[in-house]
Amino acid sequence: MSNAQDKLTRRNFLRTAARGTCAAGLGALAIASAGNVATRRSVWQIDPSKCTACGNCATHCVLTESAVKCAHQYAKCGRCNFCFGYYKSGSSGAKSHSGVEFQLCPTDALLRKWLIEDSYEYTIDLEKCTGCGICVKGCKEGNGSLFLQVDHDRCTNCNECTIATACPAQAFVRLPAEKPYWFDQGTEHKS
């Protein structure tokens, strides 16, 4: 063996180490990119059949205002005079009890509009909705037309969603990004 060929100089060592570091970095970048592509193909959402409306959605989101909002399945709604999601228990639902003190929603985000006779339309003001789930819990006593959903106009789609980790019912699931909402026919997310 030639002494010049086998001689490990500082320059040769540094050149070999730099090549190895670059190769390892490119490999790590490729793995991270593949993970990001998979994450972008799916988004976080709440399975309404598992959700217990515990209130964690309003307080555990990384955003100051939670990305979770109430959604309404209008086709399922009875448009009742007394809505379990709108009124507190013990209220009569009469027009004389239409004040905020008789409503379940602490932010007045669930709106009630008279249609005809004893029929009302309920809509959600998403700017006021905190995702607390109080109206959803009340509505479960009725027909269940109100439920919580992640608003993907707000959600940053964290790889490890803090609400999902805090969810006692494990209601947070990944859905395809092409169909990010858990909608049945007649459901609207925004009012």
Q: What is the pLDDT of residue 100?
A: 63
* Rounded average pLDDT over 28-43: 62
Determine the number of helices (DSSP H) and then strands (DSSP E) in the chain.
Answer: 5, 7
- The mean pLDDT of 116-142, rounded to a whole number, is 91
Contact indicator for 63, 156 with CB cutoff of 8 Å: yes
What's the whole-model pTM score? 0.71
Q: Facing residues of 176 across strands?
A: 42
